Amino acid sequence: MDDAPIRVAIVDDMAMVRAGFGALLEAQEGITVVGDASDGAGAVDLVTRTQPDVVLMDIRMPEVDGLEATRRIGALDGETPRIIILTTFDLDSYVFEALRAGASGFLLKDAPASDLIHAIRVVAGGDALLAPSITRSLIAEFVARPERSQRDPEMFRELTEREVEVTKLVARGLSNAEIAAEMVVAEQTVKTHVSRVLMKLGLRDRTQIIVAAYESGLVTVGS
């Protein structure tokens, strides 16, 4: 299974963008493009038909936008793909809602090709939050918004002390390797803790752990 190529779907209302991303990704070893769509409704159909691992999702599209498409894909039965939101704005207001909708990461459309490829591999592996600064900036901005939802701190009561510690470090944006060094444990141990946190909290990936940690007050901006 580890040798299987990462299956990517591309969703953007501009044909040239879809073609450009498609050509770039098809030239990469271990990545295959399973299809593309020009709007959110087409994205849901594409995901249902092709079952990609990762979806590159434009946020601003006519009819059904990327935000609504992300919500609909997250509501599908079975395992759903990880979604990378593509935006042309550093702090697009739609992107904050995409965090709640289940997006796994964000990338500026004008980011270097190497960032896009790295983002796809990282998100497909489910191992860490996207490295590009846009993601941390968005999260910091998101959690500072007064209209954001609040979560009950009691949601963490089922976690062990060690799992709470890992949750806080994940919320600071640390990778598994960095958390392992901080806690002086094996990286595999960290992966196990993260998996248990996701299972106990009913969350799908590290991005959602971060949002939950901030919204509940477990961690605060700058802590």
More confident residue, 66 or 135: 66
pTM for this entry? 0.72
pLDDT band per the 50, 70, 90 thresholds, residue 145: low
Q: How far apart are CA 217 and CA 213, in angstroms?
A: 6
Mean pLDDT of 179-187: 92
Decide which of 98 and 76 is more confident.
Answer: 76
For the chain, the domains span: 6-144, 153-216
**Looking at domain 6-144, what is its CATH homologous superfamily?**
Response regulator (3.40.50.2300)
Give 90-111 pLDDT, tens digit per residue.
555 666 677 777 788 778 888 8
pLDDT of residue 100: 73
153-216: which CATH number, 1.10.10.10, 3.40.50.261, 3.40.50.300, 1.20.1250.20?
1.10.10.10
Q: Does 68 or 87 have the greater pLDDT score? A: 68
Read off the amino acid at residue 3.
D
Residue 87 Rama label (left phi>0; alpha psi -120 to 50; beta): beta
Cβ neighbours of 160 (radius 10 Å): 12
Does residue 206 contact residue 194 with C-beta atoms inside 8 Å? yes
Query: SS3 for 87?
Result: strand
Half-sphere exposure of 136 (CA within 13 A, CB side): 12
pLDDT band at 131 (very low <50, low <70, confident <90, very high): very low
Task: Choose the most confident range, by mean pLDDT, from 26-40, 125-139, 170-184, 208-222.
Answer: 26-40
